[in-house]
């Protein structure tokens, strides 16, 4: 803000959401708001003033002993200011009176440019109220900047405390995947495995899932965003699990694919080893100075060569990549940013929209997933031994000064190691 001449930033947290009747969804704060404040309660707004005197102001709920009997502890303005180091804190009931005063004589307004009509309407109302002071010689912000875009750039590089939380989320997530491997048996339902994941998350202190867990048996693994259902796992099928926990608001994100009976068939092993090989070459590209697209491009070349070798596709590697024919079996990118959101903020390209934007270069402190896959639906031109095989292998990588560190290898990816783990639990 100072670099742009100072001004005032306004940011609300997320609202509570009604699930049905008198039941709310479990509350989750806005990630940008939490990134700047650490304050967990709903009905809160942050105001930052950057100028000759910098100031952080919070508006939050009042203490309310009666509501605390029903809903739990509230900080209230006084305790919030003390606990979270705000310069000032006020009741949320005072925000409409105080905000026009805070806007006066500020050169610029920084706010999230979103489609949230409620937020936009509130800010416009405060601006209109502030303009009524113009005859007294006051001014209101003349320019507006997208606060969300600025915070996305800040959040892209994680500091030591964030890395520590992501690392813990990854450790817990890996433990859950190991538990699933040890428990899974033919005849179990997908939702039983989901329950094992949730148990392990909570047992280690994770507050929530980072996203809805994917537990997909057999042909269900060819549905990318499949939710755990009541499908019974069959002997000879694979089970694809894409699951991660949220620990102190930071996400882990892991995918493993393993045989329900503990042994990969020949066709399953061929495609499984192919995805692992694709992931390996992608990981080699993750180092400072390399660009975002390089892991994906490297993984695609390995996958396409494997598709040719297994007679899933015919042609040359370059020709198949140019035509996009491989997307029949591999239709997503090889990764995404990871942090407070499982698909975290941050542009994947550099420069302005008016230019030919280059892919972003990796820098130490970035965290991303690496997740090649292959999904084979039945088809007349598809070898039958591969029908309904869906495989994805996903790990979380921290970019370091000289390469990357995989944060999720507490659960193995090597097929022989996975078989050994499952064999040990079967006696």
Rg of the chain's alpha carbons, rounded to an integer? 25
Is residue 253 among the annotated active site residues? yes
If 0-12 CB within 10 Å is exposed, 13-18 middle and 19+ buried, where does residue 259 land? Answer: buried
Q: Between vectors from CA 153 to CA 297 and to CA 55, what angle results, nearest 5°?
A: 170
Of 155, 177, 290, 392, the active-site residue reads 392
Q: How far apart are CA 252 and CA 246, in angstroms?
A: 6
Count Cα neighbours of 194 within 13 Å in the Cβ-side half-sphere. Answer: 18
If 0-12 CB within 10 Å is exposed, 13-18 middle and 19+ buried, where does residue 247 land? Answer: buried
Is residue 336 among the annotated active site residues? yes
Of 2, 21, 225, 426, the active-site residue reads 225
Query: 111 forms bridges with which residues in the sheet?
Result: 146
Of 190, 200, 242, 419, the active-site residue reads 242
- Going by the DSSP 8-state scheme, the letter that residue 56 receives in this structure is E
Is residue 230 among the annotated active site residues? no
Is residue 29 among the annotated active site residues? no
Is residue 350 among the annotated active site residues? no
Of 253, 294, 341, 344, the active-site residue reads 253
Of 203, 343, 357, 409, the active-site residue reads 343
Q: How far apart are CA 334 and CA 347, in angstroms?
A: 16
Of 227, 332, 349, 377, the active-site residue reads 332
Of 2, 21, 22, 230, the active-site residue reads 22
Of 32, 41, 196, 371, the active-site residue reads 371
Instruction: State the virtual CA torsion across 162, 163, 165, 167 in degrees, nearest 10.
Output: 170
47-57: burial string, b at 16+ Cβ within 10 Å, e else: bbbbeeeeebb
Is residue 318 among the annotated active site residues? no
Is residue 189 among the annotated active site residues? no
Cα of 294 vs its chain's centroid, Å: 21
Is residue 343 among the annotated active site residues? yes
Of 247, 375, 395, 396, the active-site residue reads 375
Is residue 73 among the annotated active site residues? no
Spell out where 230-341 has E strands: 238-243, 245-247, 250-251, 254-259
Active site residues: 22, 225, 242, 253, 332, 336, 343, 371, 375, 392, 394
């Amino acid at each position: 803000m100072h670099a742009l001449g100072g001004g005032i930033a306004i940011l609300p947290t997320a609202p509570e959401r009604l699930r049905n009747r008198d039941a709310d969804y479990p509350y989750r704060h806005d990630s940008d708001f939490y990134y700047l404040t650490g304050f967990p309660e709903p009905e809160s707004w942050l105001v930052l003033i950057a100028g000759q005197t910098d100031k952080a102001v919070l508006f939050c709920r009042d203490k309310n002993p009666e509501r605390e009997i029903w809903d739990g502890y509230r900080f209230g303005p006084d305790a919030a200011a003390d606990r979270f180091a705000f310069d000032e804190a006020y009741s949320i009931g005072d925000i409409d009176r105080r905000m026009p005063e805070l806007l006066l004589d500020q050169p610029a307004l920084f706010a999230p440019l979103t489609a949230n009509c409620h937020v936009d309407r509130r800010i416009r109302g405060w601006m209109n109220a502030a303009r009524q002071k113009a005859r007294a010689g006051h001014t209101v912000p003349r320019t507006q900047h997208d606060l969300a875009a600025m915070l996305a750039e800040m959040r892209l590089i994680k500091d030591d405390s964030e890395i520590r939380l992501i690392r813990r989320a990854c450790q817990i997530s890996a433990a859950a995947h190991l538990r699933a491997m040890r428990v899974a048996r033919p005849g179990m339902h997908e939702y039983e495995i989901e329950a094992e994941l949730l148990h392990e998350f909570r047992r280690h202190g994770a507050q929530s899932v980072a996203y809805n867990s994917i537990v997909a048996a057999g042909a269900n693994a060819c549905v990318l965003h499949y939710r755990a259902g009541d499908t019974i796992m069959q002997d000879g099928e694979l089970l694809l699990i894409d699951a991660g926990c949220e620990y102190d608001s930071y996400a882990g994100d892991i995918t493993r694919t393993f045989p329900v009976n503990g042994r990969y068939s020949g066709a399953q092993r061929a495609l499984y080893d192919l995805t692992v090989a694709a992931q390996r070459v992608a990981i080699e590209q993750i180092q400072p100075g390399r660009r975002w697209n390089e892991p994906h491009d490297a993984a695609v070349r390995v996958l396409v060569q494997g598709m040719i070798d297994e007679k899933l596709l015919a042609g040359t590697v370059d020709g198949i990549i140019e035509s996009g024919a491989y997307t029949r079996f591999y239709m997503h990118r090889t990764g995404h940013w990871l942090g407070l959101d499982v698909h975290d903020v941050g542009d994947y390209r550099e420069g302005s929209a008016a230019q030919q934007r280059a892919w972003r270069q990796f820098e130490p402190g970035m965290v991303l997933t690496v997740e090649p896959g292959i999904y084979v639906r039945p088809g007349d031109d598809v070898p039958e031994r591969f029908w309904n095989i869906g495989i994805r292998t996903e790990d979380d990588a921290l970019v370091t000064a000289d390469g990357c560190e995989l944060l999720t290898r507490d659960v193995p990816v090597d097929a022989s190691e996975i078989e050994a783990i499952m064999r040990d639990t079967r006696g």
